[in-house]
Amino acid sequence: MSHLVSLTIEPCVVSMSPTFELQNRPGLIVHDSFSERVLPSLRPVESTAKCQYEALPLRSWLGELRPYPRLPQNPLPRYRPTSVEIYKDLYPREQGMLVHWEHLAILLSLQLAGQSGLLATTDSLATLCFMRGVAEEIFLIRVFWDPSKKTWFLRAWSFQERVDRGWSRNNLLLLPFNF
């Protein structure tokens, strides 16, 4: 299954509440990290703006920026960046890199059963994006489809905390390109 590279979300007038759209339900598990760190800062909307999103492999952003480390104790050529390294290279300095919660909810609804689309659904890959949360902090959001459970998972990581597990360079990075 392949995924789309870009998708335009057209503007629409619709009332959407984050506590309704981004809550645990069949087909969506919202981790406590997202519920506690991001959800309280999100506000209901009466309409959505037009926005184009692109989902590109993380290696497109990180792979060419930094060579693989050559450490004698780690002979493996695979390198998996941590959230701290993603922060250093990709920290969204502009409001334009932040994903709107209502657009993420729309993208999830378009792929509710794990259909092919903009969000990654294959090969244990995740889609990463940036969202603003409580205290105006920016979080790295991981959107992951588990085909065995037929469920989406939503999780938030702070860039100030150390996440020891690396991120696959094949994960997708979801970025908005506003009109």
Rg (CA), the chain: 16
Determine, yes or no, domain membership for 57.
yes
Determine, yes or no, domain membership for 94.
yes
> Residue 123 is part of which domain span?
6-66+80-178
Determine, yes or no, domain membership for 1.
no
Determine, yes or no, domain membership for 72.
no
Query: What's this model's pTM, rounded to 2 decimal places?
Result: 0.80
Residue pair 123/169 in contact (Cβ under 8 Å)? The answer is: no
Determine, yes or no, domain membership for 90.
yes
Determine, yes or no, domain membership for 99.
yes
Number of structural domains in the chain: 1
| Tens digit of each residue's pLDDT (9 = 90 or more) over 10-63 | 888 889 999 999 999 999 999 999 999 999 999 999 998 899 998 888 766 655
Determine, yes or no, domain membership for 71.
no
Determine, yes or no, domain membership for 109.
yes
Residue pair 154/143 in contact (Cβ under 8 Å)? The answer is: yes
Q: pLDDT tier at 97 (50, 70, 90 boundaries)?
A: confident
